[in-house]
Amino acid sequence: MLELLSQLRLQALATQLPALLEEARVQQWSYEAFLQRVLTVERDGRQQRALERRCRAARLPLTARLETFDFSFQPSLSERLIHELAGLSFLQTATNVVLLGPPGVGKTHLACGLALKALEGGQSVLFTSLRELAGRLADRSERPDLVLRRYSQPKVLIIDEVGYTRLSQEQSQALFELVTMRYERSSIILTSNLSFAEWGALLGDDVLATALLDRLLHHAEIISINGRSYRMRQRMAADQSRAA
């Protein structure tokens, strides 16, 4: 029997069948009820493995959930808006999400929390920082079309920490191309400590920056978080408890 299950690649059943058979005997399940359970177990196992595969491919740096985000610490942030985004309808309309604010206010946490919702909703996600993305886009050892494809394919692309890396002309052009490829097709979640006025300096080209922002922001939810750093709060709490 195990041999058959393995040939048919019924992995979840292969581990759970003995327990299911035992339960069926004790509970005297009907044939229909038994078959229903067997198929459900295999389907759930497959869905779980697919979710784990998507999670690994997403390369999230934090497993930060929206449920653990303390909204009371960031009163400038609309909890209602984040919950609405968590419903994922923004993916249907290829709307972008731009999270702005100083370090430590939870931009990466929120981006990863939304990404987890998308992954659980069956969507593909890829996380990258602008530094990593720019490096890949200008890497001469890789085929540019394949690099662009890698970043244009996932349903959600997170570009984190826009602002800490100045881009070369070539990198700026490639980033523009990527934003254009995804425009009105699939969402970008972007985090930045910069104001939009500073993008000209970031890309080294005001005209290109205007064109890029035009596409990025045409269908976008812009969320500015003007609050205190959660990292500093944790730090201060630790210092206080040490002093006491």
**How many other C-beta atoms can be found within 10 angstroms of the C-beta atom of residue 181?**
15
Least Cβ distance, residue 239 to ligand ADP (angstroms): 16
97 lines the binding site for ligand ADP (CB under 6 A)? no
Instruction: Pick from 74, 96, 108, 129 the residue near Mg ion by CB under 5 A.
Output: 108
127 lines the binding site for ligand ADP (CB under 6 A)? no
Instruction: Pick from 87, 103, 121, 135 the residue near ligand ADP by CB under 6 A.
Output: 103
DSSP 242: H
Separation of alpha carbons 225 and 100, rounded Å: 6
> Per the structure block, which two tokens stand in for 236?
């201060």
Residue 69 interacting partner from Mg ion, ligand ADP, none (CB closer than 5 to 8 Å by kind): ligand ADP
Strand order in the sheet with 96-100: 125-129, 156-162, 187-192, 96-100, 220-224
Span of 100-108, 169-177, 205-213, 235-243 interacting with ligand ADP by CB under 6 A: 100-108
Which residues are CB-neighbours of 70 under 8 A, at least 6 positions away? 230
230 lines the binding site for ligand ADP (CB under 6 A)? yes
Q: In Å, how far are 21, 79, 92, 228 from 76, measured between CA atoms?
A: 55, 9, 27, 10
186 lines the binding site for Mg ion (CB under 5 A)? no
The backbone torsions φ and ψ at residue 180, rounded to the nearest 5 degrees and listed phi first, read -65, -40
Span of 17-25, 29-37, 67-75, 87-95 interacting with ligand ADP by CB under 6 A: 67-75
Q: Which residues contact ligand ADP (rule: CB under 6 A)? A: 62, 64, 68-70, 73-74, 101, 103-109, 191, 230-231
